[in-house]
Amino acid sequence: MAVILEVVHPNGTRAWQRLDALPLTVGRGLGNDVILDDPYVDARHARIALDDAGSLTIEDLGTVNGLVANDERTHTPVRLHLGIEIRVGRTTLRFRDTEEAVVPALVDDPTESVPARPMAGALPRAAGAGMGWLSTNGGQLVITGVAVWTVALTAWLGTAERASSVDAMGAALAFITAVAVWAGGWALASRAVMQRFHYSAHVAVASGVALAAIAWNAGGNWLDFFFPDSALITVFVAAGFAGLFGALIAGHLALASTAPRRRRWEMAGIIVGSAFAIGATAAVAVDDEFTDVATFSGVLKPIAPGLVPTATVSEFGGVMRKLKDEVDKTTKE
């Protein structure tokens, strides 16, 4: 008879190891015979060996969490027998007999497709799920670099001064600082919940959303140039920004929580919704306030005017009359 050590990882996956050569060490450190990827497990956690009487025992190596046998925490050696379960951190060690009977195999239908199963033994890696390229260091670096470069380019295009490279660098530096601080906050949250900082991934999430926001803003400007004073476009552009804000929150939550995707988006939706509600209330209040500053859509684009839809001067007269009616309405209030 030989004994099999069955390791049940915190995420439910299982692994088996035959206890041939004793003693064996168990722990999170890579020098152990049985390596457990479990944040509650010490680097060197326990040793499995034969005691003086020749019985198989597991011995705690002076750890924080010790061993749990029969729902009781202990720091003294525990004698093992077949069928016993020992908890080490959040991992369960089961000791089983090689001769244990198993149920017969099921009859397989060869036409049925075989579902791909997630790799066993992984950390709670919400980060990896659905963000393939983001989980690689190279991908994170590229997206952050492109975002910084885009911010600098936008600043450079936005100034007509000779020393424009200074403006560009200043903008890039301000952007880097802002992203570093923002991602730092999220990284701390990740560390608290997931035991991992995921700092570069958080930086990449923020950079990616910033990049999308710059692009969306530029697109919005072009739409505003072609179709000024359009309420539809204003709402459309604002909705886009709300979506990006939601994506930002959901992206960070993917790295800082174990919540399923649906739940993450719900949380992001609640945050964005509240922010918008506050913003809209403030906007309405400001709108009612008197101001002698005029606001208008003063966007200009270097494009062949033939491509721009234009009104005639007399059509603009109609626009002016409509404006008069609006102004007259405010005096009656």
Partner 1 sequence: MLLPAVLLSAGSTIAAQPTQPAPTPAATADVFRRNADRVVKIQVVETASAAKASIGSGFYVTDRGHIVTNYHVVSELVHAPERYRAEVIDIQGALHPVTVLGVDVVHDLAVLGADLKPSAFFSLDVLAIEQGNRLYALGHPEDLGLSIVEGTYNGLLSHTLHPRIHFTGSLNSGMSGGPTITDDGRVVGINVATSGNQISFLVPVERAAGLLARTLSPAGKAAAPTLEQVGRQLRDYQDVYLRDMFAGKTEMVNLGPFRVVTQPAPFFRCWADATRSEELLYEEVTHICSTDDFLFIAGDHSSGVVEVEHRFLSTKKLGPTRFFSLYASVFDQDETPSGSEEHVTSWKCSTRNVRNATVPMRAVLCLRRYRKLGELYDGVLKVAILGRRDAGLVSMLTLSGVTFENIDMLSRRYMERIAWR
Residues that bind partner 1 (CB under 8 A): 156-162, 164, 225-226, 228-229, 289-302, 304-305, 308-317, 319-324, 326-328, 330-331
The helix (run of H) or strand (run of E) holding residue 78 is strand 78-79
Return the DSSP state at 175: H
Q: Shortest distance, CB of residue 89 to partner 1, whole angstroms?
A: 58
Q: Shortest distance, CB of residue 292 to partner 1, whole angstroms?
A: 5
Q: Shortest distance, CB of residue 160 to partner 1, whole angstroms?
A: 4
Q: Shortest distance, CB of residue 157 to partner 1, whole angstroms?
A: 5
Rg of the chain in Å (alpha carbons):
31
* Whole-angstrom distance, CA of residue 182 vs CA of residue 142: 19
**C-beta of 122 vs 308, nearer to partner 1:** 308
Q: Shortest distance, CB of residue 238 to partner 1, whole angstroms?
A: 18
Q: Shortest distance, CB of residue 176 to partner 1, whole angstroms?
A: 23
Beta bridge partners, 56, equal: 50
Q: Half-sphere exposure (CA, 13 Å, Cβ side) for 81?
A: 1
Let me know if 242 is exposed, middle or buried by CB neighbors in 10 A (0-12, 13-18, 19+). middle
Q: Please report the beta strands in 132-270, taking only residues with DSSP state E, as ranges in sequence order.
A: none
Sequence letter at residue 261: R
**C-beta of 216 vs 276, nearer to partner 1:** 216
CA distances from residue 102 to 19, 97, 99, 109, 129 in whole angstroms, order as listed: 20, 11, 9, 21, 34
Can you spell out the DSSP letters for 190-227? HHHHHS---HHHHHHHHHHHHHHHHHHHHHHHHHHHHS
Q: Shortest distance, CB of residue 168 to partner 1, whole angstroms?
A: 11
**C-beta of 117 vs 329, nearer to partner 1:** 329
**C-beta of 23 vs 158, nearer to partner 1:** 158
**C-beta of 35 vs 233, nearer to partner 1:** 233
Q: Which two tokens stand for residue 215?
A: 């692009």
Sequence letter at residue 159: T
**C-beta of 182 vs 225, nearer to partner 1:** 225
**C-beta of 156 vs 276, nearer to partner 1:** 156
